[in-house]
Structure 1
Amino acid sequence: MPNVRAIPTVRRRRLGRALRKFRTGAGLSLDQVAELMNTKPGAKWDGPKTSRIENANAKISAPEVVTLLGHYGVTDTETVTALEDLARTAGKPGWWSTYGGIVPPHLEDRIDAETEAKVIRAYYGTVIPGLLQTGAYAREITAATAFHIPKEQHPGIVDVRMGRQATLTRPDDPAECWFVIHEALLFQKFTPHPSLMREQLMRLLDVSELPNVNLQVMPLDSGPHPGARGNLSIFHFPKPWPSLVSTESAGVSHYIEGPEAAERFQKDFDRIVASALPADRSRDAIRTHMEGMTR
């Protein structure tokens, strides 16, 4: 049966990346894979099909995934089972798909990372992280930064951002999160809404009390540190998924996958943490700023 063009869901893209990694690790070309897969009676496989699967533009069944992994020399049971399960659910759209396509692919990848991660490490110097924002703060930031997007889509953008926060309190093993935010963000003002920032700072204090969340503030007098390069997030996942790093500069996000990148940026994050206020003093700093604001 011909391979039907598939919707490139986040799950399909993740599966495709994994299969490409194992194929190249085995030193096999697309055509060589086709030859191996065509040894099975009735199989109709070619190099372009493999390419479409790896680029999330074609479907692949769970049994075909198992066969491919066998040709690639992948025998680890956890890895095979994880990719087999992913193939079964590859066509399932994310919860954010109900918002009419306002979520671009790069943000889909981030939401998927936040949803699936066991550990999240993040530094933000330009804006309160989306996982920590109040709805009111999110609306103001969206209006200020998404002016190129039709205003009627802004409520959906905010709703998606609020939905992402479920990763902090999900009942089945919430993500272990460590946030560092710059103190300059605590000075933000929203003139038409004088109580908005006070509520946002209260939100930070509330989240910092969660057992799975560590929140630090980078003081104004901290001196140089790796966070000067821009916002940074590191996501660690259960086996077999590789860690993912997201860097952001001038509003553009870049994603880097693999243990080497995670190790490099984790060292940067460790230096950021060392330059920031301890958790208790960070809460004191947030509380001081909040108490100095107009109710």
Structure 2
Amino acid sequence: MAQVPSPTIRARRLRRELRRLRDRTGRTAEEVAKQLGWHRTKVIRFELGHSRVMAKDVQTLLDLYGATEEEREALTALHRQARQKGWWSAYGDVLPDDYVGFEAEATSISSYESLYVPGLFQTEEYVRAIVRAGRSTADQDEVDRRVAARLGRKVLLSRDEPPRLWMIIDEAAVRRVVGGPKVMRAQLARLIEACELPTVEMQILPFSAGAHAAMGGPFALLDYADPSLDPTVVYLDNDSSTLLLEEDRHVARYRLMFDHLMAKALDPDESAAFLGRVADDYPD
């Protein structure tokens, strides 16, 4: 399946390009807003992604910044692409953050999971058990929509060029019985299958590794084809809130953290064997 441009990534790229053009003119965001008769925070809100930039505002900014014809065409196209809808937009009520949009165009994802099996390889039964446990008051329709939204992420694996996935999973995530022994056996079988995929590297971080750098919780590093256009982002999720980090210092910190986890975890072959042993603990 061909990759479709992610509106989330295009919106981010548009914001970055508008900031670059503003910097080129030597103006502050407040100076631009004052010159255009806008509220003093309007430009900075555009650039931070806190509000949507309208087509007429893009053209106004391009005029002010003295954009070349080539820049004008490129940014107008970016704005048009940013206004399109990704498949996940239909699940806006159950996918409240932008992670899926950032994930959709990543070429490499390095993630650490402390409590759950990685989302891209969760079985439907495992997902349903998680949703029911976390949403005890949800009606069946909400449960079904949340399950469908989570499973929809798997389209990423069907791309002509799927992303390179390097996943480190805490032993706790594969030991905790979610949905019962039958569900866990099927879930572990899915993970073992994933270990054989050419674009996947999977490592188990055993309890015996002791204290480690990521005991604060799970995270993911998302890299893109052209870092100059789309720099790496770090995604943090603790179930009650999510956070996307883009500053170089944050990315460097989590990159180093991931390297430390790789060194402590079982190697991929040992990890596959480990998963097999855990699966054997559950009856057919």
Q: What is aligned with 1:29? A: 28
Task: Give 1:238-253 correspondences, 5 Å limit.
Answer: 238-239=225-226, 240-249=229-238, 251-253=240-242
Asked if structure 2 preserves the Cα contact closer than 8 Å seen for 1:61 and 1:87, the reply is no
Residue by residue, what CA displacement relative to the aligned partner does 1:19-63 show, whole Å, maximum 9, x if unpaired?
Answer: 564367455233533587xxxxxxxx4434645644333312698
The answer on whether the counterparts of 2:22 and 2:65 sit within 8 Å (CA) in structure 1 is no
Q: Distance in 2 between matches of 1:199 and 1:119?
A: 26
Residue of structure 1 aligned with 2:53, choices 26, 34, 58: 58
Q: 1:164 aligns with which of 150, 153, 170?
A: 153
Partner of 2:177: 189
| Greater Cα offset, 149-158 or 201-210 | 149-158
CA offset at residue 184 of structure 1? Answer: 1.8
Which runs of 5 or more residues in structure 1 are unaligned? 1-8, 37-44
CA distance in 1, matches of 2:93, 2:211: 40
C-alpha change, 1:65 and 1:216, in structure 2 (3 Å) is: farther
Q: Which moved more, 1:120-129 or 1:238-247?
A: 238-247
State the partner residue of 1:89.
81
The one-letter code matched in structure 2 to 1:187 is R
Tell whether 2:193 aligns with 1:206: yes
Q: How many angstroms does 1:276 deviate by?
A: 0.2
Cα 1:241–1:206 shift into 2, 3 Å? same
3-state DSSP of counterpart to 2:181: coil
Distance 1:31 1:271, change over 3 A: closer
Listed as ranges, the matches of 1:267-282 within 5 Å are 267-282=256-271
User: d(CA) in 2 for partners of 1:100 and 1:32?
Assistant: 35
Separation of aligned partners in 1, 2:211 and 2:146:
34
* TM-score with structure 1 setting the length: 0.80
State the Cα RMSD in Å.
3.1
Q: Does 1:217 align with 2:204?
A: yes
Question: Matches of 1:288 and 1:81 in 2, distance apart?
Answer: 57
Structure 1 residue 70: deviation in Å? 5.2
The change in CA–CA distance for 1:80 and 1:282 in structure 2 (over 3 A counts) is farther
Comparing both chains, which one has the higher relative contact order based on Cα–Cα distances under 8 Å and sequence gaps of 6 or more? 2
Normalising by structure 2, we get a TM-score of 0.82
Partner of 2:4: none
SS in 1 for 2:177: coil
1:217, 1:277 within 8 Å by CA — same for their partners in 2? yes
Aligned residues: percent identity?
28
User: 2:86 & 2:187 partners in 1: Cα distance?
Assistant: 28
Offset, 1:190: 4.1
What letter corresponds to residue 47 of structure 1 in structure 2?
Answer: W
Q: Do the aligned residues in 2 keep the contact of 1:120 with 1:235 (CA within 8 Å)?
A: yes
Number of residues of Structure 1 aligned to a counterpart in Structure 2: 271
Report 1:1-295 matches (<5 A).
10=8, 13-15=11-13, 17-19=15-17, 21-22=19-20, 25-26=23-24, 27-30=26-29, 32-33=31-32, 45-48=36-39, 50=43, 53-54=46-47, 55-60=50-55, 64=59, 67=62, 71=66, 83-99=75-91, 101-104=93-96, 106=97, 109-147=98-136, 149-171=138-160, 173-190=161-178, 193-239=180-226, 240-249=229-238, 251-295=240-284
Give, in whole Å, the separation in 2 of the partners of 1:214 and 1:188: 22
Distance in 1 between residues matched to 2:119 and 2:32, nearest whole Å: 42
Q: Which runs of 5+ in 2 are unaligned?
A: 1-6
Q: Distance in 2 between matches of 1:28 and 1:84?
A: 22
Partners of 2:234 and 2:246 within 8 A in 1: yes
Seen in structure 2, the aligned counterparts of structure 1 residues 150 and 21 have a Cα distance that, compared at 3 Å, is: farther
Residues 139 and 158 in structure 1, CA contact (< 8 A), matched pair in contact too: yes
Query: For residues 58 and 22 of structure 2, what CA distance do their matches in structure 1 show?
Result: 20
Measured after TM superposition, the shift of residue 180 of structure 1 is: 0.4
